Structure 1
Amino acid sequence: MKTLQIKENSWIAKLAAKKLKSDQMAITIGQTIYLYNVSKNYFLSQSKWVKHEQQHIQQFKKYGFFKFLIMYLYESWKKGYYNNKWEIEAREAENK
C-alpha cells in the first residue's frame, strides 16, 4: 500500500486557493495531499481538515484514480464546489 504523502507549497493547491478565493488550501489527488500557504505541521494539527482530506483519499481508493477524478470534476461542474456530493461527504467525515 502506498503511504500518504503531503506536499507543501504546491502550485496546484495555489491554483485551487485562487479559484476558491481562499488564503489556505489543501487539495487531495490520489493519495497525496497538496498544501498551499499552510505548513504540514499546522495541517496535521487540524483534525477536521485532516479527516476531510482523508475522506477524499478513501474516495480515490474506492472508485479508482481516473474514475473518481472524472466523477469529481463532473459533479463540480454540474453543482459547484460546495454542493458537490464528494465535498458533502468529506465535510460529513470531519465530525466522525
Structure 2
Amino acid sequence: MSTLKCRIREGSMVARIAAWKMGSGNIAIVFGNVIHLHGVSRERFLANTAWVRHEVRHVRQYREAGFWRFLWRYVRDWRRYGYYNIPYERDARLAEANPRELEGVEIR
C-alpha cells in the first residue's frame, strides 16, 4: 500500500471563494492532494476526525479518477443531482465513519 500524501493550506483564497458560494463560514475544499481551509484552523480541522476522513476520501477520489476527470464529473454531477447527491459527496460521507480511511495517509 503506497502512502497517500495530503497537504493542508490554511486561509486559502480558493476555500474562501467556495465558502462565499456555499454560504458557509468554515469550509474545506480539495483540489488534487491539497485540502484548502477557510474559517477553520489546521488544528481544529484535524481534531474533527470525520471531517478529515471526508476530505481525505476526496483526495483518494482525485487519485483514482485523475485531476481533470474528477473535476469534470464533480461539476457535471452537481448540476445533475445537486450538491448533496453528488456521488463523490455521498461516498465521502460514508468515509466519515470508516476507521480505516486514514490508514496510510500522511498529512503535511
TM-score by length of 2: 0.84
From 70, 73, 80, the equivalent of 1:71 is 73
| Shift in Å, 1:36 | 0.1
Q: How many pairs align? A: 96
Moved more, 26-35 or 10-19: 10-19
Give CA deviations for 1:16-46 in whole Å, capped at 9, x if unaligned.
1111111100000100000001001110110
Q: Distance in 1 between matches of 2:19 and 2:90?
A: 18
Quote the Cα distance in structure 1 between the aligned partners of 2:60 and 2:54.
10
Aligned to 1:59: 61
Which residue of structure 2 aligns with residue 22 of structure 1? 24
More strand by share: 2
Unpaired runs of at least 5, structure 2: 99-108
- The residue identity in structure 2 corresponding to 1:81 is Y
Structure with the larger RCO, 1 or 2 (CA within 8 Å, 6+ apart): 2
Q: Which amino acid aligns with 1:48?
A: A
In structure 1, stretches of 5+ residues that fail to align are: none
Distance 1:14 1:4 in 2: 19
Residues 51 and 79 of structure 1: is their aligned pair in 2 closer, same or farther, counting only changes over 3 Å?
same
| Aligned match for 1:47, one of 49, 55, 79 | 49
Spell out structure 1 runs of 4+ moving beyond 3 A: none
Q: How far has the Cα of 1:85 moved from its partner?
A: 0.9
Quote how far apart the aligned CAs of 1:3 are.
3.0
- Does 2:92 align with 1:90? yes
Deviation at 1:8, TM superposition (A): 0.5
Q: Provide the alpha-carbon RMSD of the alignment.
A: 1.2
